[in-house]
Chains A and B, each alone.
Chain A
Amino acid sequence: MEELALHLLDLLENALAAGARHILITIEEDGERDRLIVTVQDDGRGMEAAALEKALDPFYTTRTTRKAGLGLSLFQATAVQCGGTLTLESQPGQGTRVVAAMRLSHPDLPPLGDMGATIATALSREEPVELIYRHRRGRQEFQFSSTWLQLHLGEIPLNCGPVLDWVQRYINKGLAELYGGDQS
């Protein structure tokens, strides 16, 4: 995965597959402490201790269509390579929380990438999901909430092309402002 946003999309797909109705994504860039912390918290079905133990094993999956479950282990490899860690907390019925911490200045740190496309993709589904994305950079923050968007749209489903296209442009514009216009 060449972007953090792609790793994130993979985590979001896991959360959605676990039946999550609420997902909170936070990205914190702390230049002073040289930390980048990415968190995905969901209220999906969660995992038993035994499954949690094996969740980072690339040759473990609950899926039946193929034998490997690479997503989490790939993100863990990236985090470790960038001087950090990936931790998993989960309980059956309580949802799952994934925290990846990395060194912000690490030369191998992948670029953030297309967060707009990642969020729009996660929202492309019939079943409603309330997704909040908070991105903090130093003292500034950008926030997107699908709950707010759904409120604004009323009866219109989120997963109509022009709406999701608006979502990807809105988020990328908001992030470009957060980065002071040096990232499009």
Chain B
Amino acid sequence: MIKSLDELQKIKEAELEAIRLREAGQKARIVVGMGTCGIAAGAREVMAAILDELGKRRLTSVAVTQTGCIGLCAQEPLVDVILPGKPRVTYGKVDAGKARQIVAQHVVNGIVITEWVVNRGEV
């Protein structure tokens, strides 16, 4: 338990440092669809993989949120990536493996994985 708290303290320090470096509104966002349809299709495993990947990479400058059913149930699990100043990119039929690649390629390197994209937002 003590070890867990040490770890939490380290995350806290890293995030405080990130807040100092970051300009307002410059936070990337990842949104996972978490309606019943999403959950049944494996959205929680996708979320767990994203959190694990962000944790391993110590990526504190990414906000992780969820949304309910948006009516695209057949494409669940759905993951949106919104990089600062960029339009929303929606990935469909994401699994844990794809989720890790989305973090590595899109969130970290800014490269959209076009073949998994099901929708793109306006700029």
Binding site for B on A (CB under 8 A): 1, 5-6, 9-10, 13, 17, 63, 65-66, 69-71, 74, 114, 116-118, 120-121, 124-126, 149, 152-157, 159-166, 168-170, 173
Residues A9 and B60 in contact, CB atoms below 8 Å apart: no
Dominant secondary structure of chain B at its interface with chain A = helix
Residues A13 and B58 in contact, CB atoms below 8 Å apart: no
Across the interface, B68 reaches (CB within 8 A) one of A13, A149, A159, A163, namely A13
Residue of A nearest to B58 (CB): A162
Residues A121 and B66 in contact, CB atoms below 8 Å apart: yes
Find the residue from A116, A118, A153, A165 having the highest chain B CB count within 10 A: A165
How many residues of chain B have a CB within 8 Å of chain A? 42
Interface check B59, CB cutoff 8 A: yes
| Shortest Cβ distance from residue B41 to the other chain A in the assembled complex, whole angstroms | 11
Q: How far is the CA of A160 from the CA of B13 in the complex (A)?
A: 13
Name 27 interchain pairs, CB-CB below 8 A, sorted by A. A1-B40, A6-B40, A9-B39, A9-B44, A10-B36, A13-B66, A63-B69, A65-B68, A116-B48, A117-B44, A117-B45, A117-B51, A120-B47, A120-B48, A121-B43, A121-B44, A121-B48, A125-B66, A126-B65, A149-B8, A153-B12, A160-B64, A161-B53, A162-B59, A162-B60, A166-B55, A169-B4
Residues A162 and B66 in contact, CB atoms below 8 Å apart: no
Residues A161 and B48 in contact, CB atoms below 8 Å apart: no
| Shortest Cβ distance from residue B1 to the other chain A in the assembled complex, whole angstroms | 8
Q: Which residues of B contact A65 (CB under 8 A)?
A: 68-71
Q: How far is the CA of A170 from the CA of B44 in the complex (A)?
A: 17
Instruction: Using A160-B15, A161-B59 as known contacts, list a sample of 4 further A-B pairs with CB atoms less than 8 Å apart, ordered by residue number in A.
Output: A13-B36, A160-B61, A165-B55, A173-B4
Across the interface, A160 reaches (CB within 8 A) one of B34, B53, B62, B68, namely B62
| Shortest Cβ distance from residue A122 to the other chain B in the assembled complex, whole angstroms | 8
Q: Which residues of A contact B73 (CB under 8 A)?
A: 66
Residues B44 and A168 in contact, CB atoms below 8 Å apart: no
Residue of B nearest to A157 (CB): B63
Residue of A nearest to B53 (CB): A161
Q: Which residues of B contact A116 (CB under 8 A)?
A: 48
Q: Which residues of A contact B50 (CB under 8 A)?
A: 161
Q: Which residues of B contact A74 (CB under 8 A)?
A: 36
Residue of B nearest to A5 (CB): B44
Known A71-B36, A124-B66; contact A163-B15, beta-carbon cutoff 8 A = yes
Residues B54 and A161 in contact, CB atoms below 8 Å apart: yes
Q: How far is the CA of A161 from the CA of B29 in the complex (A)?
A: 10
| Shortest Cβ distance from residue A18 to the other chain B in the assembled complex, whole angstroms | 11
Residues A114 and B4 in contact, CB atoms below 8 Å apart: no
